[in-house]
Structure 1
Amino acid sequence: MVSLDDIGDVCVIRLSTVRLDSSVGTVIRNSIVSKFDSHSKFALDMTSVKLVDSGGLGALVAVLKNITSQQASLVLVGMQKSVKLMFELSRMDRQFKMAESVDQAIELMK
């Protein structure tokens, strides 16, 4: 469901699930919290995600608040069109930084 890779000082969280719901959001949050002692930059690779439900969106907002309170940064990576449209319609695209690729996300966080 979730795998972690370190690329330099960025922790890349790769999702291997089609649906991002509150339970996946909890796994993401726990993964990020476990890395706070060694990382302050996080890229969430959402390439495989085709659906984000309201619980998943709420979980991502909670993750963003947690990251912001730690003076860390988060970039969402590789959103499919339908997911990106949902973020735009809910105006969450104004709250989250987004990138097309992990490399682009790393550049945004420099």
Structure 2
Amino acid sequence: FNSPVVIAELFEASRIINTVYDGALKISATELDKLKTLMNDFVFEVFGLKDEDSSNTELNEVLDMVIDLRKEAKENKDYATSDKIRVGLQNIGIQLKDSKEGTTWSKN
């Protein structure tokens, strides 16, 4: 499957969940449960990530993978996906900084 697109869509789903929690968007409890289940399935089952209690090593590895996927999208001139990944990371409190040496990240 196309990993950059999947990750971008997961960030979009995360944005929708946050919009619902903020009260700016109304969906049914059933729809919210389905969305949360979908996110959980992808994050924990498909990508194999662990719960927040796991060490930062996994977070570093995942973010390195996401940054590589974003770089690949930019190299393919898929700027929409690249931007979606950046915005999605910003929405969850992760700031990307691009430089000549590459991309680094930090938590906000």
User: Going by fraction, where is helix more abundant, 1 or 2?
Assistant: 2
Structure 1-normalised TM-score? 0.34
- In our comparison, the structure showing a higher alpha carbon Rg is 2
